[in-house]
Chain A
Amino acid sequence: MAAAGVLHGRADARRYENNAATRETPWVKWTLLGISLAFFAMFLLLPLVAVFTEALRKGWVTYLTALSDEDALSAIKLTLITAAIAVPLNLVFGVSAAWCIAKFQFRGKHFLTTLIDLPFSVSPVVAGLIYVLLFGAHGWFGGWLAANDIKIIFAVPGIVLATVFVTFPFVARELIPLMEAQGREEEEAATVLGASGWQTFWRVTLPNIKWGLLYGVILCNARAFGEFGAVSVVSGHIRGQTNTMPLHVEILYNEYNFAAAFAVASLLALLALVTLGLKSFIEWKAGQQSRESE
C-alpha cells in the first residue's frame, strides 16, 4: 500500500477541473472540499497542534527542564539504542527476503509474503505477550534464563525483541513489489558478464532500490521510536532503566505532570514530522528517477 506512493507521481488536478466531463458543479466541489478539510483539521491537524501547545503551555523553562530531566534523558537513550538495533536487523532481513522473493520463482512464494506481513495484523499487546510466554519467569525458557542469570523480559533485550516484531515487515514490504517490478534482466546481465553476487548486488541492485530502501527504513525507524503497546508489556516500566520515550510519556501523564509529558511527546511529534517530510522528499525523488528511466 505504502509503496504506491513511491511508484506514483502525483498528477496535476487541473486536468480534471478544466474538463467539463470530470468536474463537479462549484457548490458540490466546495461542499466536498469543505467537509474533507474539516475532517482533516478535526482529526489530524488539531491533535498535532495540541501536542506543541500543551508542551509549551508553562513556558520554555519548564519545557527544557522536563527534557533535561535524568529519567527523560535515559528514556531518550534507550529509545535510540532500541532503534539502532531493531532497524538494521529488519533492514538486512528485508533485503534478503526481497532478493529471494522478487528475483526467483518458487512454490509457496505468495504464502511467504503473507507470513512476512503477519506482524502488522497482530495487536501490539499480543506482540509483547508472545515474548513474555517464551522468556518470562513462567515462560518456556524462563527457568533456564533465571538459572543462567539472563534477563530478557523487564529488561532491554525484551524491548528490542518486541520492537523488532512490530517493525518486522516495513523494509521487506517496500522492497518486494519494487524489485519485482524491476525484474531480473540487469542483474542477469551483470552476472553473465562475470560479476560476483555481491558485486551485482552493490553495483546494480542497490542503486536501483535505494529510494525504496530508504523509504522502508524511515517508516521502520518511526515505528521503532514510537512503539508503545508491545514495549509496554515487556518493559516492566522501571524508571531510568527500561523506560523508552513513549513509556516515559505515559508515566509522566499518569502522574498528572502534563507539561513534562507533552514536552517529551513533542520530541516524538517532531520526529514524526521529520519522517513525513523525508517521506515526501523520497516520493518526489523516486518519481523523478522513474520518469528519467522511462
Chain B
Amino acid sequence: MSAATLFNPTRQTRVLPGFGLSLGYTLVYLSLLVLIPLSAVFLKTATLGWSEFWAVVTAPRVVASYKLSFGASLLAAGINAVFGLMLAWALVRYTFPGKKLIDALVDLPFALPTAVAGIALTALYAGNGWVGSILEPLGLKVAFTPLGVLVALVFIGVPFVVRTVQPILEDLETELEEAAASLGAQRWQTFTKVILPILLPALLTGFALAFARAVGEYGSVIFIAGNIPMVSEITPLMIITKLEQYDYVGATAIATVMLVFSFALLLVINLLQAWSAKRTGRNR
C-alpha cells in the first residue's frame, strides 16, 4: 500500500499536485533519520531482562542523577516561570531604552552553542570569577556544585516562558482591564483575577517546555557541574559515562527511561497548548 492511499486526502482538496511525492518523501526521511534510529533504543533495551533493566536504572548513582536532573530542572523551570513572566510583562507593557536589543537577546540561549554557555558560566561562577568572587566569601559555592547545575538550567530555559507568554500578552484586549478598573478593581486584583487566568495555560506551557529542555540538557551543564558522583552528576552524563565504559546496554537502558519521560512530557505539552489555544482563541 502506498503512502498516498494510506493517508487518503479528502476529495475536494485534490486540485493541487504533489501530495503523494511530498508525503512520501516526508515519511521516508522521517522514518530513516528519526523513527527507526529511535526504535533502536527500545529494541536494544528489550534484549535486557526486566530484572537486569531494573538493576541498571535504579543503581544508586543513577538514582542520584535523576534526583539532581529532575529536581534542578523543576526548580529552574519555576524560576523561569516567575522571572520570565516579569520580563515578558516589561517587554510588552513598558517603554525603556535598549528594549529592542533586550528583546532580541532573550533568544540568546537558543542561538549560543551550549558548550560556549557552559564555559562562560563556569568562568563567571568559579571562585575567581566575577560573580563567584562575590558569592564565595559569603559561603555560597556555585561552580562545581548542584547549584551550578541550577544556574546553567536557568540560563537555557529563559526564552521558553518569555516567548510563550509574550504573544498572548500582546493580544490581550485592553478593554478587559478597563472594564475591571471601571468596576472598581485594584490593579493587583485585575492582574490575579483577569489577566493571570488568561496567561496561565501559556505560562504552564512555557514552564513545561523549559522543564523538558532542562532534563535533557548536557553541554551547558557539564562544565559548571563538576560531575562529582552521587552529588553533581546529571542523567545525560550517566549515559556518556556508560558509553565510555563500552556498556552500551546500560547506556541504552538509561536512555529508555529518559525517552519515556520525554514522550510523556510531550503529550502534556500538547494538551497544554490545546488548552491555551482554546482559552485565548489563538491557534498555536
Contact = CB atoms under 8 A, between A and B. Distances in A.
Interface of A: 1-5, 8, 10-17, 19-25, 28-29, 32-33, 35-37, 39-40, 43-48, 50-51, 54, 93, 96-97, 99-101, 103-109, 112, 114-119, 121-126, 129-134, 136, 138-140, 161, 164-165, 168, 177, 184, 187-188, 191-192, 196-197, 200-201, 219, 222-223, 225-229, 232-233, 245-247, 249-250, 253, 258, 261-262, 265, 268-269, 271-273, 275-277, 279-280
Contact of B96 (A33, A109, A130, A229): A33
B232 interface: no
Contact of B114 (A97, A177, A229): A229
Nearest to A7: B167
A122 to B, nearest CB: 6
B17 A123 contact: no
Contacts of A134: 36-37, 40
A93 B252 CA distance: 28
A262 B119 CA distance: 8
A275 B117 CA distance: 16
Contacts of A37: 90, 96, 102
A51 to B, nearest CB: 5
Contacts of B2: none
A35 B187 contact: no
A129 B244 CA distance: 12
Interface residues of B, number: 104
Given A29-B94, A246-B113, A276 B108 contact: yes
A130 B41 contact: yes
A140 B163 contact: no
B218 interface: yes
A160 B237 CA distance: 22
B248 interface: yes
Given A17-B94, A226-B113, A276-B105, 10 more contacts: A16-B174, A43-B158, A44-B158, A47-B120, A93-B29, A97-B30, A122-B262, A123-B215, A126-B259, A253-B223
Given A54-B120, A184-B16, A121 B109 contact: no
Interface in B120-148: 120-121, 123-124, 129-131
Contacts of A2: 163
10 contacts: A2-B163, A22-B178, A40-B105, A96-B22, A100-B19, A105-B9, A126-B259, A133-B252, A226-B116, A249-B119
Q: Give the dominant DSSP class at B's interface.
A: helix
Contact of B178 (A19, A47, A140): A19
B46 interface: no
A200 B16 contact: yes
B116 A269 contact: yes
Residue with the greatest number of chain A CB neighbours at <10 A, chosen from B22, B25, B109 = B22
Nearest to A201: B18
A129 B131 CA distance: 36
**Sorted from nearest, which 4 A-B pairs have the closest CB atoms?**
A226-B113, A123-B216, A228-B219, A229-B218
Contacts of B230: none
Interface of B: 7-10, 13, 15-19, 21-23, 25-26, 29-30, 33-38, 40-41, 44, 83, 86-87, 89-90, 92-96, 99-100, 102-117, 119-121, 123-124, 129-131, 151, 154-155, 158, 160, 163-164, 166-167, 170, 174, 177-178, 180-182, 187, 209, 212, 215-219, 223, 236-237, 239-240, 243, 248, 251-252, 255, 258-259, 262-263, 265-266, 270, 284
Contacts of B216: 121-126
Contacts, number: 326
Nearest to B12: A105
A114 B23 CA distance: 15
Given A39-B83, A134-B37, A100 B16 contact: no
B120 to A, nearest CB: 4
Given A11-B170, A222-B111, A265-B119, A126 B90 contact: no
Given A33-B94, A249-B115, A229 B34 contact: no
Given A8-B170, A100-B23, A272-B111, A1 B41 contact: no
A104 B16 contact: yes
Given A13-B92, A33-B94, A197-B18, A177 B284 contact: yes
Nearest to A24: B187
A107 B87 contact: no
Contacts of B130: 46, 50
B114 A228 contact: yes
B102 to A, nearest CB: 6
Given A21-B177, A47-B117, A188 B108 contact: no
Nearest to A188: B15
